[in-house]
Amino acid sequence: MAALLVGIAGGSGSGKTALAERVATALPPGIVVVVPADAYYRDLGHLPPRERATHNFDEPAALDSTRLCADLARLVAGQAVARPVYDFASHTRLPEPVRVAPGPVVIVEGILVLALPALRDLLGLKVFVIAAENTRLQRRIARDVGERGRTRESVVAQFQRHTQPMHELHVAPSQACADVIISGEVELARGADRVASRIARLAEIEIRA
């Protein structure tokens, strides 16, 4: 039986990663494999560091969607893949990929997961996480300053220059493709249980209380 491929999309900072992690823990151990679409950003090592920092990471062309779709198709077919590892500090891929073993349920999460037709067509369940613009910006500042060595000013500038315009152009319209819509601001645990229950029915997985 082929694995169930679940897509979780939503704006940057909406709570996609947290939702994916909660769904994985709500299902039996060893069932879920989570693949971050962000790992498939194109390597910008050929560009000067200053130019890399001004790159638009929020448009579909920023992702190597061909490799992402190919890897997901292999995982669904029960084959392991070598997933790239992206360094957000240098905007380059690290030389050593990470081996990802297949599982009964594969979750791919990222802002553009429902905005890419080729990827969307692979999904057995499509989830969209919503959150207010200011919530997403504040979370983005906390993450990028705390984990990626950015300044608050640079994060705000990038959000205004690329993230929010691309959200309105590509990400927000993809909500119309979702089977399930979850709030990333309130009761995320309840939303995760809702998604996990939907997955369990589709994949015929028993969840014990």
Split at pLDDT 50, 70, 90, the class of 187 is confident
Could you state, in order of their start, the residue ranges of all structural domains in the chain? 4-202
Rounded Cα–Cα distance for residues 63 and 166 (Å): 14
Q: How far apart are CA 133 and CA 149, in angstroms?
A: 22
Query: What number of other Cβ atoms are within 10 A of residue 58's Cβ?
Result: 22
DSSP string over the chain: -PPEEEEEEESTTSSHHHHHHHHHHHSPTTSEEEEEGGGGBPP-TTS-HHHHHTS--SSGGGB-HHHHHHHHHHHHTT--EEE--EETTTTEE-SS-EEE---SEEEEE-TTTTT-HHHHTT-SEEEEEE--HHHHHHHHHHHHHHHS---HHHHHHHIIIIIHHHIIIIIGGGGGG-SEEEESSS-HHHHHHHHHHHHHHHHT-----
- pLDDT of the residue at 89: 86
Confidence of residue 209 (pLDDT cuts 50, 70, 90): low
Contact 181, 128 (CB under 8 A): yes
Cα angle 78-84-85, degrees, rounded to a multiple of 5: 130
Of 32-41, 58-67, 141-150, 195-204, the range with the lowest mean pLDDT is 141-150
Task: Give how far Cα 74 sits from Cα of 5, 33, 57, Å.
Answer: 11, 13, 25
Residue labelled with tokens 């979702």: 178
Q: Residue for token digits 């791919």?
A: 108
Residue 32 has pLDDT above 90, yes or no: yes
Which pLDDT tens digit goes with each residue over 111-140?
999 999 999 999 999 999 999 999 999 999
Split at pLDDT 50, 70, 90, the class of 5 is: very high
Residue 10 Cα distances to 19, 29, 78, 141, 153, angstroms: 11, 26, 27, 17, 23
Polymer length of the chain:
209
State the pTM of this model: 0.94
CATH number for the region 4-202 comes to 3.40.50.300
